[in-house]
Amino acid sequence: MEEKAKNYLNQYLGSLSASERQRYQSFSADYFCADEYNANLCAELIRKGQKTATCSLKYGYGAANEPMPKIGHLMVVTDWNGHPICIVEIDSVKECKYSDVSTEFAYLEGEGDRTLKWWRKAHWDFFVNECSELNIDACADMMLVLEQFHVVHPSKI
């Protein structure tokens, strides 16, 4: 974790009581999406409370040897340049086929016009690119990891 994000996280943890701090054992810092424009847009949507969910390709966790998300994890959301925007806590983690993503989940993702139609187009394009990088085929049955979260520490921006 970069120093800016680490300091931001420690500031938040320092504002909690000892018993509240003990609830948290898992931490990370990162931006959302794979390009600067969307990373900064998503960070702002999260900060405002409009974006309260995200998804990722399950296969990618194994390929990158990364741990799966878990409930109670705290993530410092950064912009593309690594500046902390807010901290979110993961509330829910589920697995779902791409084809089974619901209208409700698409709305919670908070992007575009928040419809399932928009979500499917934007995410299909994203996952096709990711699958290509992983040398696997994108398909409607590809498994996704769906996360829901809430902001626990907003930026003062």
pTM for this one?
0.92
Radius of gyration of the chain (CA): 16
Give pLDDT, residue 154: 85
Q: Yes or no: is domain 3-96+143-154 CATH 3.40.1160.10?
A: no
What's the average pLDDT block by block, 10 residues per block, for the chain (157 residues)? 94 95 94 92 95 96 91 97 97 98 98 96 94 95 98 77
List the domain boundaries for the chain.
Answer: 3-96+143-154
In angstroms, the CA 31 to CA 39 distance is 6
Quick one: how many helices (H) and strands (E) in the chain?
6, 5
- Other CB atoms within 10 A of residue 6 CB: 14
Give pLDDT, residue 31: 94
Cα dihedral sign, 119-91-49-9 = negative
- In 3D, which of 82, 62, 72, 147 has the Cα closest to residue 110? 147
